[in-house]
Amino acid sequence: MQELMLDKTHDETRQGEAFSPIENQGKTYHKHFYIESYGCAMNFADSEVIASILQKENIGCTNQAEKADLILINTCSIREKAEEKIRKRLTELRQYKRSNPGLIIGILGCMAERLKGNLLEEEKLVDLVVGPDAYRTLPSLIEEAETGQKAINVLLSRDETYADISPIRLNSNGINAFVSIMRGCNNMCSFCVVPFTRGRERSRSAVSIIAECEALFNEGYREVTLLGQNVDSYHWRDEETGTVVTFAELMEKVALISPLLRVRFSTSHPKDITDDVLFTMKKYDNICNYIHLPVQSGSTRMLQMMNRTYSREWYISKVNRIKEILPDCGISTDMITGFCTETEEDHQESMSLMEYCKYDLAYMYFYSERPGTLAARRFKDDVPLAIKKRRLQEMVDLHRIHSHESMKRDVGKTFKVLIEGNSKKNENEFHGRNDQNKVIVFPKLNYKKGDYVMVKVHDCTPGTLIGNIIE
């Protein structure tokens, strides 16, 4: 789900548009829910699972909050500012209780898991709180909230994957879809709250993943993104046969559904991505040459404090290996500035790593201490905010140069592009992405959404390639 965000950072939490009630057509529901999602692709995928659960209970979707009987906010807890935005949004949404006293407002996802009862008792912003592993209990929690009780379920599970639930594709363009292949994370990075809000890793059945991807293809979808906190550690064992499926094998099974089905994935942990994955990508033309490979810092000392389990040199060798096997592979990353005790020398190590890798895309943000994490317990958040922001701006400025250079190198080249829909700026143009996840816009001609076309690039901006279809 990676978006091409050249000048954005994680300081700008992604917010989903109100989901369209496309599945409601021709159906009558006794209640309606409104949902907004914030944060990562996993949250957006979870919202589609939630929609499926609610519609089975005869609760339909609306994209107008004022018409909803149930308002849900699916939340991100990655940074303090993300939580501040969500609190503000919840305060805004409570106005609808004046005209609809029976309205129920609920908070879901990582922020719900982290803050638990505080949101119910202390802040009194919501009526129900549901963690990422408890969405199946939403119907009973809603019934409880309707009686005037405060309803909460934030129990984490070692088994829940929602494998048997067919997500309802909310706000879908009918071409791209997210498919969750695993949940949770076993990597205890000291800065990260995810292991505490989403629990331990558990892989979903390969059989159910393949079935979902096949169904999507038969419905007209032409691209799936396999999602997990760390997809490369996917490991599923068939209890009947004892067969083990790795991520490389899973990706191959999805690619074999049809050469017309593009396959992407996110996110990879540098310590887990294997040559098997890289050679599988090389083997199949419909597996996109694009890897999101978060590094977080270019300083080995910082990486050790972050508990990333690799050094600067090891990460560089991994990037070199990717380029050796997949010379045209696009690589993106995550970077943190101002982590605990970070010195100017550490920061320059990060800058020099970016200079070496010249990422096509980077998600950059300054460190925000999250309560309950290892870093919050072990280290002092001692880098002044002004220095964090200054270092972040320096990093953004450097990356802007690299990303523009990356775009310029593609001028004159021809790419296979999947048409995803109309250009946002010009209804006479289509937009799509190439293998390396770069957005390309081009005149429509006699094609339609979902078609593959060959596009020759003749110009670019820092964030977009501009071309024409070659017929």
Per-residue pLDDT of 367-411, as tens digits, reads 999 988 999 999 999 999 999 999 999 999 999 999 999 999 999
The residue type of 197 is T
pLDDT band at 177 (very low <50, low <70, confident <90, very high): very high
421 and 382 together in one domain: no
What average pLDDT score do residues 170-176 get?
A: 89
The lowest-confidence range among 114-128, 218-232, 325-339 is 114-128
322 and 448 together in one domain: no
Q: Is the pLDDT of residue 5 over 60?
A: no
- Residue 9 within any structural domain of the chain: no
pLDDT in the model for residue 25 = 52
CATH number at 136 reads 3.40.50.12160
pLDDT in the model for residue 8 = 31
Higher-scoring residue by pLDDT: 19, 191: 191
Residues making up the chain, counted from first to last? 471
pLDDT in the model for residue 83 = 86
Domain boundary among 384, 409, 434: 409
127 and 84 together in one domain: yes
- Residue 456 within any structural domain of the chain: yes
Burial of 437 (0-12, 13-18, 19+ CB in 10 A): buried
Q: What residues make up the domain containing 49? A: 22-153
pLDDT in the model for residue 116 = 83
> For the segment 298-316, what is each residue's pLDDT rounded down to a tens digit?
999 999 999 999 999 999 9
Q: Is the pLDDT of residue 76 over 60?
A: yes
CATH number at 228 reads 3.80.30.20
305 and 369 together in one domain: yes
CATH number at 449 reads 2.40.50.140
- Residue 67 within any structural domain of the chain: yes
Backbone angles phi, psi at 178, to 5 degrees: -95, 140
pLDDT in the model for residue 12 = 31
The mean predicted confidence, pLDDT, of the chain is 91
463 and 342 together in one domain: no
Distance CA 353, CA 195 (A): 27
- Residue 10 within any structural domain of the chain: no
The structure's pTM equals: 0.90
Please report the DSSP string for 307-331 in residue order: T-S--HHHHHHHHHHHHHH-TT-EE
Q: Is the pLDDT of residue 74 over 60?
A: yes
Q: How far is CA 198 from CA 22, 202, 228, 254, in A?
A: 29, 10, 11, 26
Residue 230 and residue 269 in contact, taking contact as beta carbons nearer than 8 Å: yes
- Residue 390 within any structural domain of the chain: yes
362 and 314 together in one domain: yes
338 and 232 together in one domain: yes
Q: Is the pLDDT of residue 148 over 60?
A: yes
401 and 453 together in one domain: no
Q: Which of 200, 37, 15, 202 is nearest to 108 (CA)?
A: 37
77 and 206 together in one domain: no
- Residue 259 within any structural domain of the chain: yes
432 and 388 together in one domain: no
pLDDT band at 30 (very low <50, low <70, confident <90, very high): confident
Domain boundary among 409, 443, 459: 409
- Residue 158 within any structural domain of the chain: no
pLDDT in the model for residue 9 = 30
The domain total for the chain is 3
What sections of 9-163 are H helices per DSSP? 41-56, 80-93, 110-115, 118-121, 138-146
pLDDT band at 78 (very low <50, low <70, confident <90, very high): confident
323 and 424 together in one domain: no
Domain boundary among 122, 153, 184: 153
What average pLDDT score do residues 225-237 get?
A: 96
pLDDT in the model for residue 4 = 26
- Residue 167 within any structural domain of the chain: no
Rg (CA), the chain: 22
Higher-scoring residue by pLDDT: 10, 359: 359
pLDDT in the model for residue 122 = 67
Residue 444 and residue 428 in contact, taking contact as beta carbons nearer than 8 Å: yes
182 and 300 together in one domain: yes
